[in-house]
Amino acid sequence: MKVKAIIPASGSGIRFGGKTSKQFLKIGESEIVALTIEKFHSVNSIDEIIIPTKKEFFNKIISIVKKNDFYKVKKITEGGKIRQDSVYRGLINLEYENNDLIIIHDAVRPFITTKKILKLIKEAKKENCVILGLQLNETIKKISKKNFVEKTLSRDDLWSIQTPQIFRYDILKKSFETAMKNKFVGTDESAIVEYSGYKVKVIEGEKKNIKITVREDLRDVRLDR
Protein backbone atom coordinates (compact mmCIF):
# COMPACT_ATOMS: atom_id res chain seq x y z
CA MET A 1 0.00 0.00 0.00
CA LYS A 2 1.33 3.40 -1.02
CA VAL A 3 0.02 6.89 -0.34
CA LYS A 4 -0.25 9.37 -3.19
CA ALA A 5 -1.41 12.99 -3.20
CA ILE A 6 -3.42 14.96 -5.73
CA ILE A 7 -3.26 18.74 -5.33
CA PRO A 8 -5.58 20.38 -7.89
CA ALA A 9 -4.36 23.86 -8.79
CA SER A 10 -6.51 24.89 -11.74
CA GLY A 11 -8.47 27.64 -10.00
CA SER A 12 -8.53 31.10 -11.52
CA GLY A 13 -9.63 32.80 -8.30
CA ILE A 14 -12.53 34.81 -9.75
CA ARG A 15 -13.91 35.64 -6.30
CA PHE A 16 -10.45 36.68 -5.16
CA GLY A 17 -9.93 39.29 -7.85
CA GLY A 18 -6.70 40.56 -9.37
CA LYS A 19 -4.58 39.39 -12.29
CA THR A 20 -2.62 36.71 -10.43
CA SER A 21 -4.38 33.45 -9.57
CA LYS A 22 -4.43 33.14 -5.80
CA GLN A 23 -2.37 29.94 -5.64
CA PHE A 24 0.59 31.92 -7.02
CA LEU A 25 0.36 34.82 -4.58
CA LYS A 26 2.99 34.85 -1.86
CA ILE A 27 2.84 34.60 1.89
CA GLY A 28 6.27 35.75 3.00
CA GLU A 29 8.74 34.48 0.41
CA SER A 30 6.75 31.50 -0.85
CA GLU A 31 3.81 31.04 -3.19
CA ILE A 32 0.66 29.65 -1.56
CA VAL A 33 0.82 26.52 -3.71
CA ALA A 34 4.48 26.00 -2.75
CA LEU A 35 3.58 26.13 0.95
CA THR A 36 0.85 23.56 0.32
CA ILE A 37 3.03 21.18 -1.68
CA GLU A 38 5.76 21.41 0.96
CA LYS A 39 3.45 20.05 3.66
CA PHE A 40 2.75 16.87 1.70
CA HIS A 41 6.30 16.59 0.35
CA SER A 42 7.62 16.52 3.92
CA VAL A 43 5.46 13.53 4.94
CA ASN A 44 7.65 10.44 4.58
CA SER A 45 4.74 8.08 3.94
CA ILE A 46 3.58 10.04 0.87
CA ASP A 47 5.29 8.52 -2.18
CA GLU A 48 4.06 10.64 -5.05
CA ILE A 49 2.36 13.98 -5.74
CA ILE A 50 0.50 14.92 -8.92
CA ILE A 51 -0.75 18.41 -9.72
CA PRO A 52 -3.64 18.93 -12.15
CA THR A 53 -3.64 22.51 -13.39
CA LYS A 54 -4.33 24.68 -16.41
CA LYS A 55 -1.89 24.40 -19.31
CA GLU A 56 -1.17 28.09 -18.96
CA PHE A 57 0.06 27.42 -15.40
CA PHE A 58 2.42 24.55 -16.29
CA ASN A 59 5.55 26.68 -16.47
CA LYS A 60 4.81 28.39 -13.15
CA ILE A 61 4.25 25.07 -11.39
CA ILE A 62 7.37 23.54 -12.97
CA SER A 63 9.40 26.53 -11.81
CA ILE A 64 8.08 26.21 -8.25
CA VAL A 65 8.76 22.46 -8.19
CA LYS A 66 12.35 22.89 -9.42
CA LYS A 67 13.10 25.85 -7.16
CA ASN A 68 12.00 23.94 -4.06
CA ASP A 69 13.32 20.52 -5.14
CA PHE A 70 9.88 18.94 -4.76
CA TYR A 71 11.09 15.61 -6.17
CA LYS A 72 7.92 13.79 -5.09
CA VAL A 73 5.96 15.77 -7.69
CA LYS A 74 6.08 13.14 -10.42
CA LYS A 75 3.65 14.68 -12.87
CA ILE A 76 1.82 17.86 -13.75
CA THR A 77 -1.29 17.15 -15.77
CA GLU A 78 -3.91 19.30 -17.44
CA GLY A 79 -6.93 19.94 -15.24
CA GLY A 80 -10.55 20.09 -16.31
CA LYS A 81 -13.27 22.72 -16.39
CA ILE A 82 -14.39 21.90 -12.86
CA ARG A 83 -12.58 20.51 -9.81
CA GLN A 84 -14.17 17.08 -10.22
CA ASP A 85 -12.67 16.74 -13.70
CA SER A 86 -9.26 17.92 -12.52
CA VAL A 87 -9.10 15.44 -9.65
CA TYR A 88 -10.17 12.58 -11.93
CA ARG A 89 -7.46 13.45 -14.45
CA GLY A 90 -4.95 13.40 -11.65
CA LEU A 91 -6.29 10.07 -10.48
CA ILE A 92 -6.01 8.30 -13.84
CA ASN A 93 -2.48 9.61 -14.34
CA LEU A 94 -1.16 8.00 -11.15
CA GLU A 95 0.83 4.78 -10.99
CA TYR A 96 -1.34 2.73 -8.65
CA GLU A 97 -2.43 -0.44 -6.93
CA ASN A 98 -6.10 -0.80 -6.00
CA ASN A 99 -5.40 -0.63 -2.27
CA ASP A 100 -3.25 2.52 -2.50
CA LEU A 101 -4.50 5.53 -0.55
CA ILE A 102 -5.18 8.74 -2.47
CA ILE A 103 -5.15 12.00 -0.55
CA ILE A 104 -6.65 15.11 -2.17
CA HIS A 105 -6.03 18.63 -0.93
CA ASP A 106 -6.89 22.16 -2.06
CA ALA A 107 -3.86 24.05 -3.39
CA VAL A 108 -5.00 27.11 -1.43
CA ARG A 109 -5.13 25.49 2.01
CA PRO A 110 -1.46 25.96 2.94
CA PHE A 111 -1.85 25.75 6.73
CA ILE A 112 -2.75 22.10 7.18
CA THR A 113 -0.29 20.50 9.62
CA THR A 114 1.78 17.42 8.86
CA LYS A 115 0.50 15.98 12.15
CA LYS A 116 -3.07 16.08 10.85
CA ILE A 117 -2.03 14.60 7.49
CA LEU A 118 -0.42 11.67 9.32
CA LYS A 119 -3.56 11.21 11.45
CA LEU A 120 -5.70 11.11 8.32
CA ILE A 121 -3.46 8.47 6.71
CA LYS A 122 -3.51 6.35 9.87
CA GLU A 123 -7.32 6.42 10.01
CA ALA A 124 -7.65 5.65 6.30
CA LYS A 125 -5.65 2.43 6.70
CA LYS A 126 -8.51 1.23 8.90
CA GLU A 127 -11.56 2.96 7.41
CA ASN A 128 -10.71 3.40 3.66
CA CYS A 129 -12.53 6.75 3.33
CA VAL A 130 -11.75 9.58 5.77
CA ILE A 131 -12.26 13.35 5.69
CA LEU A 132 -11.62 16.30 7.99
CA GLY A 133 -14.33 18.51 9.46
CA LEU A 134 -15.22 20.96 12.20
CA GLN A 135 -18.45 20.74 14.12
CA LEU A 136 -20.50 23.90 13.67
CA ASN A 137 -20.92 26.10 16.73
CA GLU A 138 -23.12 28.82 15.24
CA THR A 139 -26.89 28.71 14.73
CA ILE A 140 -27.77 27.50 11.24
CA LYS A 141 -31.01 28.47 9.49
CA LYS A 142 -32.56 27.37 6.22
CA ILE A 143 -33.60 30.45 4.24
CA SER A 144 -36.21 30.84 1.49
CA LYS A 145 -35.44 32.38 -1.90
CA LYS A 146 -36.90 35.62 -0.56
CA ASN A 147 -34.59 35.49 2.47
CA PHE A 148 -37.17 34.50 5.05
CA VAL A 149 -36.29 31.87 7.64
CA GLU A 150 -37.90 28.54 6.85
CA LYS A 151 -36.33 26.46 9.58
CA THR A 152 -33.68 26.52 12.29
CA LEU A 153 -31.52 23.42 11.93
CA SER A 154 -30.02 21.43 14.76
CA ARG A 155 -26.28 22.00 14.67
CA ASP A 156 -25.50 18.90 16.71
CA ASP A 157 -24.99 16.78 13.59
CA LEU A 158 -23.70 19.47 11.22
CA TRP A 159 -20.03 19.73 10.30
CA SER A 160 -18.07 22.07 8.03
CA ILE A 161 -15.86 19.90 5.82
CA GLN A 162 -12.24 20.55 4.87
CA THR A 163 -9.49 18.95 2.84
CA PRO A 164 -7.38 16.88 2.77
CA GLN A 165 -9.68 13.96 2.12
CA ILE A 166 -8.35 10.43 1.65
CA PHE A 167 -9.78 7.34 -0.04
CA ARG A 168 -8.68 3.90 -1.19
CA TYR A 169 -7.85 4.10 -4.90
CA ASP A 170 -10.35 1.55 -6.19
CA ILE A 171 -13.21 3.11 -4.21
CA LEU A 172 -12.38 6.60 -5.45
CA LYS A 173 -12.01 5.58 -9.10
CA LYS A 174 -15.25 3.57 -9.14
CA SER A 175 -17.06 6.46 -7.48
CA PHE A 176 -15.83 8.97 -10.05
CA GLU A 177 -16.84 6.68 -12.89
CA THR A 178 -20.32 6.22 -11.39
CA ALA A 179 -20.67 9.98 -10.99
CA MET A 180 -19.63 10.62 -14.59
CA LYS A 181 -22.00 7.96 -15.91
CA ASN A 182 -24.91 9.52 -14.00
CA LYS A 183 -23.80 13.13 -14.58
CA PHE A 184 -23.53 13.74 -10.85
CA VAL A 185 -21.41 16.68 -9.72
CA GLY A 186 -20.17 16.74 -6.14
CA THR A 187 -18.81 19.75 -4.28
CA ASP A 188 -16.03 17.60 -2.86
CA GLU A 189 -14.60 14.11 -3.32
CA SER A 190 -16.51 12.80 -0.32
CA ALA A 191 -19.83 13.74 -1.94
CA ILE A 192 -18.88 11.63 -4.96
CA VAL A 193 -17.90 8.65 -2.81
CA GLU A 194 -21.08 9.01 -0.71
CA TYR A 195 -23.18 9.13 -3.89
CA SER A 196 -21.72 5.75 -4.87
CA GLY A 197 -22.83 4.20 -1.59
CA TYR A 198 -19.62 4.11 0.43
CA LYS A 199 -19.33 5.16 4.06
CA VAL A 200 -17.05 8.07 4.88
CA LYS A 201 -15.63 8.73 8.34
CA VAL A 202 -15.15 12.30 9.59
CA ILE A 203 -12.37 13.19 12.01
CA GLU A 204 -11.63 16.52 13.68
CA GLY A 205 -9.99 19.06 11.40
CA GLU A 206 -8.06 22.22 12.24
CA LYS A 207 -9.43 25.75 12.64
CA LYS A 208 -6.40 27.29 10.99
CA ASN A 209 -6.75 25.00 7.94
CA ILE A 210 -8.62 27.71 6.03
CA LYS A 211 -9.21 27.82 2.31
CA ILE A 212 -7.99 31.13 0.93
CA THR A 213 -10.99 32.29 -1.10
CA VAL A 214 -11.20 36.09 -0.86
CA ARG A 215 -8.60 38.80 -0.20
CA GLU A 216 -9.71 39.15 3.42
CA ASP A 217 -8.52 35.58 4.05
CA LEU A 218 -5.00 36.43 2.93
CA ARG A 219 -4.93 39.69 4.85
CA ASP A 220 -5.96 37.94 8.03
CA VAL A 221 -3.29 35.27 7.51
CA ARG A 222 -0.59 37.89 7.10
CA LEU A 223 -1.71 39.67 10.27
CA ASP A 224 -1.67 36.36 12.18
CA ARG A 225 1.83 35.59 11.00
Q: pLDDT tens for residues 102-125?
A: 999 999 999 999 999 999 999 999
Total residue length of the chain: 225
**Each residue's pLDDT tens digit, 149-189:** 999 999 888 999 999 999 999 999 999 999 999 999 999 99
178 vs 205: CA distance, rounded Å = 28
Q: What is the DSSP letter of 120?
A: H
pLDDT along the chain (225 residues), means of 10: 95 61 91 97 97 96 97 96 95 91 97 97 98 95 96 92 98 98 97 98 96 71 45
Global pTM? Answer: 0.92
Q: What is the set of domains in the chain, with CATH numbers?
A: 3-224 (3.90.550.10)
